Structure 1
């Protein structure tokens, strides 16, 4: 969270982190890697949209299910 977000009380999504653990990559290699990963991330984020569930008229007009039985209220004269 940045200082600006902390003052506003809002939270922004953090940027993905990239750590190179082996080797010595050049600036061109890092730029190409970041470009490819950024494009793949943007494509995946755009495709990850959830569809709205469709509700039919039949479902809308049905009565709701009955309320569950209350087990805390004894019934009949056989309640101990």
Structure 2
């Protein structure tokens, strides 16, 4: 394909300048690789619900220890 050949052509209808601009924008957006979303840091509220330290182990009294604060 040479530099003079168009990348696409309209074969039916007569699009307006705005319609062509929307088409070109959609094609360009579709051909670019998607950027990875930035990681979101967990809030202090969300972190407070996560367990810290080792989880209670199975054995005598484990069911009671699982409900106690660490």
TM norm structure 2 = 0.38
TM norm structure 1 = 0.34
- Bigger relative contact order (CA 8 A; separation at least 6): 2
